[in-house]
Amino acid sequence: MEESEGRLSKLVAVIACIAMTLFYVSILYAPTLILRLPPPQSYENFMIRRFICAAVWSVASVIFCAFVLPITGGEASYSFGVYGIRSDHFWQAIVFPLFLTSLMYAGSLIFKSMLLVNKWKEHRHQEGEPLLGCIKSTLLSLPVQMSSVTSNVLFWRNFIVAPVTEELVFRACMIPLLLCGGFKAYNVIFLCPTFFSLAHLNHMMEIYSRHNYSLLKASLVVGLQLGYTVIFGSYASFLFIRTGWWSIC
């Protein structure tokens, strides 16, 4: 994705990004504070409400950007391309960033693999079952484990809803706005994750009130989270700008 000609002013681009950040967080509390709905009866119902709110604002952000951005092309492919949704260079945009991202987590992946191998060895030693038998039993139990995981609402929050909505709003919508506002690419790489990290400040009050943490401990927890979101967000923004693909961020 190349830098735009800067038809938007920088002030308008920044205000638009701040507004999207505030509304993304605020809408999560809309069912209780604005719609006056009764408190959810379970944690799953609570998360489903948040899923719906995040999805609604993600769609609204795309529509909002469509009016704000100086999109001149009338074709649908061009409009989707502004948000990084493209069909050209598909495999390059998927494989290369995926490989780079896996390098970031290589230590964790190797550690998990070693734990799995050790588990197989212990099972083989206790049951006297050959290694291939352990692998076969693991593969046979995989559908049951996957069913258990996918039925957990946290799985949908951590791996589906949050990544898709956050990347759509904070990457696919904000980066074109900032580039059209005349910001340089290297400025956008660090500016966009700043908005993303600020969207996590509400977690400090939730941790402080719900988990009975001290203000200092809650600040340290959220501060670590903000630091991580800035670092990874900068990397994801770099991938978006270099490839124009939001789906791999």
Q: Which two tokens stand for residue 72?
A: 């001149």
Whose CA is closest to 248, among 125, 78, 111, 91?
Answer: 91
Number of other CB atoms surrounding residue 143 within 10 Å: 9
Q: For residues 249 and 239, what is the distance between their CA atoms, to the nearest angstrom?
A: 7
First to last CA, the chain: 13
Would you call 203 a catalytic residue per the annotation? no
Whose CA is closest to 58, among 26, 20, 22?
Answer: 20
Q: For residues 227 and 229, what is the distance between their CA atoms, to the nearest angstrom?
A: 6
Q: Which two tokens stand for residue 83?
A: 């948000």
Q: For residues 36 and 90, what is the distance between their CA atoms, to the nearest angstrom?
A: 45
Q: For residues 83 and 174, what is the distance between their CA atoms, to the nearest angstrom?
A: 9
With beta carbons less than 8 A apart as the criterion, state whether 12 and 70 touch. Answer: no
Residue 191 φ/ψ region, left for φ over 0, alpha for ψ in the -120 to 50 degree band, beta for the rest: alpha
Would you call 166 a catalytic residue per the annotation? yes
Indicate which residue of 166, 203, 206, 211 is catalytic: 166
Indicate which residue of 123, 129, 200, 203 is catalytic: 200
With beta carbons less than 8 A apart as the criterion, state whether 169 and 61 touch. Answer: yes
Catalytic residues: 166, 200
